A and B are shown apart, each in its own frame.
Chain A
Amino acid sequence: MLDKDTVKHVAKLSRLEIKEDEFETVSKKMGDILSYIEKLQGVDTENTDITYNPINLVNQFRTDEVRESLEVKKVLQNAPEKEMGCFKVPKVLD
């Protein structure tokens, strides 16, 4: 089990809301997974490098040239709310 404050904190960071009656189930299931993951602490990784990517990729660069972009109409076609060629969001400044 994870304690309620931790679940609340992680949910806030994740921009998710946990309802009062869901806390117990969520913390139990997350707790089960995290205690399984704990087994990694028993693996000796001293002097072991980290692997972010399995085929050791290096940075990819492209030349800085002007390319055709998507049309504004296509960019906005999935927007839940739009106005004058822009995405519309709630007011953020008073």
Chain B
Amino acid sequence: MKLYEMTLKEASEKIKKQEITALELTQSILDRIKEVEPKVDSYITITEEEALNRAKEIDEKIKAGEEVSVLAGIPMAVKDNICTDGVKTTCASKMLENFVPPYDATVVKKLNAAGAIMVGKTNMDEFAMGSSTENSYLKKTKNPWDLNKVPGGSSGGSAAAVAAGQAFYALGSDTGGSVKQPAALTGLVGLRPTYGRISRYGLIAFGSSLDQVGIFTKDVTDCAIVLRELAGKDKMDGTSAEVEVADYEKHLDKDMSNIKIGIPKEYFVEGIDADVKKAVLDGVEKLKELGATVKEVSLPHTDSAIATYYVLAPSEASSNLARFDGIRYGYRAEGYDSLEGLYTKTRTEGFGDEVKRRIMIGTYALSAGYYDAYYKKALKVRTLIKKDFVDAFEDVDVIIAPTAPNVAFNIGEKTSDPMAMYMEDACTIPSCLAGVPGMSIPCGFKDGLPIGMQIIGNYFDEATMLKVAHAFESVTEFKDQRAKL
């Protein structure tokens, strides 16, 4: 087995036993990046020199007998909308093409403190708006399982990097499914925590009441390890929650005898590919064999979720993206004749089509005369969607559904039709609006492309969600399959 093929945990054990050095491990990832990056295009920035220097520091600490974290010396990648002090953070936008943050996001600070080694910043849909990573201003990332297919979005670069062995794990961000959906399309474990579980400080805002930092890993154990490091209250983020963080790895076992699984009938209807449906339901059968109880549940407002999301997320985006005015940071147009002219020309040239479209939809929904009919109405429907989940979790511990309606689609297939692209997130959006945690794990293949099973947990109960995912993973072999590049 090549070094880059290991899981985070396997690599960490070898480093701690001094069977390999952090430098060797980092070099193996950098070599892998050199080998496959021309095909996959996962990264916007590669931080080779900094990574090698940090690896040497970690090796010295280990040699000196210092106690180090499980993440120490392990190469990882960060989505390019998460601020990194001194390293370009572009949001894959012309607007921020040369932006160098003067501070680290809290998640980056935590990983640095744990000795993690960042090898680069990954490609994404511009300002995290999209479901295929085709909206990037800088490059198009390909799916490592089939280079003609999209890796999903908006965290497609992070997903492709892990799936191609270019990082042991990666951070993404999830507003309406931008971690879970690309994880499904690239055969990874992808977790979006409860809203408030992980600090958003330093994550460049898109839809503030929805955005969450998420995690991509090769297996569930790795995911539990990274979540433990990132979770917790942050005084820099007023929306982060003061809720106890468990040692998630310790909760992983195969005993499903006390677990009640809910199957939402609204997620297995028309529009879901028959093979995807079958793979997910076969997965549920496996969990049943391990002792879980399964019952049908109903989330009656599922059908309203996409419409609700496409009012609320753009409304919040129109407000959040007002800060990009060409004054304090980012792109500035030339040839304006007034302050307002500067704003307008800068924003018109700096933002891509999808970002402009969402800003305008949001501005429309918030404008006089439409506020009640769109924005206020969507906030009320959000209450009903949330109530659906609260009611369902009275009876079950987790809810299982498909993550995406289909396997990865062709590059260019949906770019001219925004509504077709929005439907890609039909299965992930409802739980994001409700704020409950969710994850995707691989549960099958169709035509050589991975299928994702979505496990949705109750508020702040990531432990049970991870336990169910781990039980499934222990009796199947999907996690051991790797994209051949």
* Partner among B311, B342, B459 whose Cβ is within 8 Å of the Cβ of A37: B311
As a 0/1 sequence over residues 32 to 59 of chain A, the CB contacts with chain B under 8 angstroms (1 = contact) are 1110111111010100111111110101
Given A17-B344, A50-B380, A62-B235, does the pair A79, B307 have CB atoms closer than 8 Å? no
Chain A residues within an 8 Å CB radius of B379: 50-52
Instruction: Among B311, B329, B336, B363, point to the contact of A13 (Cβ < 8 A).
Output: B363
B434 on the A face (CB < 8 A)? yes
Report yes or no: A17 in contact with B304, Cβ–Cβ below 8 A: no
Q: A33 contacts B310, CB within 8 Å?
A: yes
Measured CA separation A17–B356 after assembly (Å)? 10
Asked, given contacts A16-B360, A45-B380, whether A79 binds B328 with beta carbons under 8 Å apart, the answer is: yes
Residues of B within 8 A of A14 (CB): 318, 347, 356, 359-360, 363
- Bound together, the chains give a CA A52 to CA B210 distance in angstroms of 10
How near does chain B come to A49, taking the closest CB pair, in angstroms? Answer: 6
CB distance from B12 to the nearest CB of A (A): 32
The answer, yes or no, to whether A92 is at the interface (CB within 8 Å) is yes
Residue of A nearest to B235 (CB): A62
B377 contacts chain A at the CB level, 8 A cutoff:
yes
Q: Is the CB of A78 within 8 A of B99?
A: yes
State which of A30, A43, A45, A60 has its C-beta within 8 Å of the C-beta of B361. A30
In the assembled complex, the Cα of A40 lies from the Cα of B322 at a distance in Å of 27
Report the separation of the CA atoms of residues A55 and B325 in the bound assembly, to the nearest whole angstrom. Answer: 32
| Binary CB contact string for chain B from 371 to 389 against chain A (1 if under 8 A, 0 otherwise) | 0011011111111101000
Chain B residues contacting A36 (CB-CB under 8 Å) are: 306-307, 310, 419
Q: Is B308 engaged at the interface, CB distance under 8 Å to the other chain? A: yes
- Shortest C-beta distance, B97 to chain A (Å), equals 11
A10 touches B345 (CB 8 A): no
The answer on a CB contact under 8 Å between B380 and A70 is no
Residues of A within 8 A of B376 (CB): 50
Query: What's the nearest-Cβ distance from chain B to residue A92, in Å?
Result: 5
Interface residues of B (CB under 8 A from A): 98-100, 102-103, 194-196, 209, 235, 238-239, 241, 301, 304, 306-308, 310-311, 318, 322, 325-332, 336-345, 347-348, 351, 356-357, 359-361, 363-365, 367, 373-374, 376-384, 386, 418-419, 422, 433-436, 459
13 A–B contacts, CB within 8 A, in A order: A14-B359, A16-B359, A17-B344, A30-B357, A33-B361, A37-B374, A40-B307, A41-B377, A49-B383, A53-B435, A57-B196, A60-B238, A77-B102
A-B CB proximity, top 10 nearest? A54-B435, A80-B332, A60-B238, A78-B329, A50-B379, A45-B380, A74-B102, A51-B383, A48-B380, A17-B348
A38-B307, A51-B383 provided; 13 other pairs, C-beta below 8 A? Answer: A13-B363, A14-B356, A14-B360, A32-B419, A33-B310, A33-B418, A39-B304, A45-B383, A49-B380, A51-B382, A79-B329, A81-B332, A87-B328
